[in-house]
């Protein structure tokens, strides 16, 4: 019998069995193919577990911070552009409501523009409405200048059956985006125009 080592720590032996006569001898144990007997168990080599080092973690954090710092301004500008578009549509609908109210009720309607809000007032009870703009959106009167009081509040008057006042309001956000809402005196419908940055 020849001993042979196994890399996994299992003792194996190669045997050559003599002829079995069957008289007074015990039958040899059955051997696997090739006549090798293995004892014990297959040893498991411990795998090396490699953790994340502090330098690698700092590099990952720096990359994430760089990506966030680059993408944040564009995301913020996109949100402000959506706010500006929404505010412009709201102002156009508000001007249309003021003109329609004057014609429908046959009463004069006064449109008042302040720093960050629009409102119209009529002689009918309960007909007052107010529109407040979201944060970061400013507006100012343009085109035909309306009357302004001491507090800088602009006013337009809608008369039933009369000419529609030439209302022009410019809206701007914090990133330089600008839009203009104009009330067409001929048709009485508002239109929204984009203003190219200078």
Does residue 20 lie within any of the structural domains?
Answer: no
Is residue 189 assigned to a domain?
Answer: yes
Q: d(Cα 54, Cα 74) in Å, to the nearest integer?
A: 31
In a domain, 91, yes or no: yes
Q: For residue 145, is it within any domain? A: yes
Q: What is the CATH number of the domain that holds 157?
A: 3.55.40.10
Query: Residue 198 class from Cβ within 10 Å (0-12 exposed, 13-18 middle, 19+ buried)?
Result: exposed
Q: How far is CA 176 from the centre of its chain?
A: 21
- Per the structure, how many domains does the chain have? 1
pLDDT in single tens digits along all 198 residues of the chain: 444 444 444 445 444 445 545 555 555 555 455 455 455 545 556 566 677 788 888 889 899 988 887 877 777 777 888 889 999 999 999 999 988 888 888 888 999 888 778 888 887 777 788 998 888 888 888 865 555 565 678 888 888 888 888 888 999 988 888 999 998 888 888 888 887 765
Q: What does the pLDDT read at residue 165?
A: 86
Cite the DSSP H helix spans in the chain. 54-105
Quick check: is 47 in a domain? no
Structure tokens at 142: 């343009």
Residue 97 belongs to domain spanning: 57-195
Per-residue pLDDT, 4: 46
Collapse the DSSP code of 122 into the 3-class scheme (helix H, G, I; strand E, B; otherwise coil) and give the result. Answer: strand
Task: State pTM to two decimals.
Answer: 0.60
């Amino acid at each position: 019998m020849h001993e042979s080592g196994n890399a996994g720590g299992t003792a194996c032996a190669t045997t050559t069995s003599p002829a079995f006569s069957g008289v007074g001898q015990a039958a040899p144990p059955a051997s696997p193919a090739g006549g090798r007997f293995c004892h014990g168990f297959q040893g498991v080599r411990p795998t090396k577990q490699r953790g994340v080092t502090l330098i690698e973690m700092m590099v990952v954090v720096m990359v994430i911070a760089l990506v966030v710092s680059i993408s944040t301004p564009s995301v913020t500008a996109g949100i402000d552009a959506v706010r500006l578009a929404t505010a412009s549509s709201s102002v156009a609908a508000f001007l249309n409501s003021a003109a329609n109210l004057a014609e429908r009720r046959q009463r004069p309607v006064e449109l008042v523009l302040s720093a960050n809000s629009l409102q119209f007032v009529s002689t009918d009870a309960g007909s007052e409405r107010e529109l407040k703009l979201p944060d970061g959106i400013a507006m100012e009167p343009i085109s035909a200048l309306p009357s302004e009081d001491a507090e800088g509040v602009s006013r337009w008057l809608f008369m039933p059956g009369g000419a529609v006042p030439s209302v022009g309001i410019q809206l701007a956000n914090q990133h330089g985006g600008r839009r203009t809402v104009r009330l067409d005196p001929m048709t009485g419908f508002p239109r929204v125009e984009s203003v190219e940055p200078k």
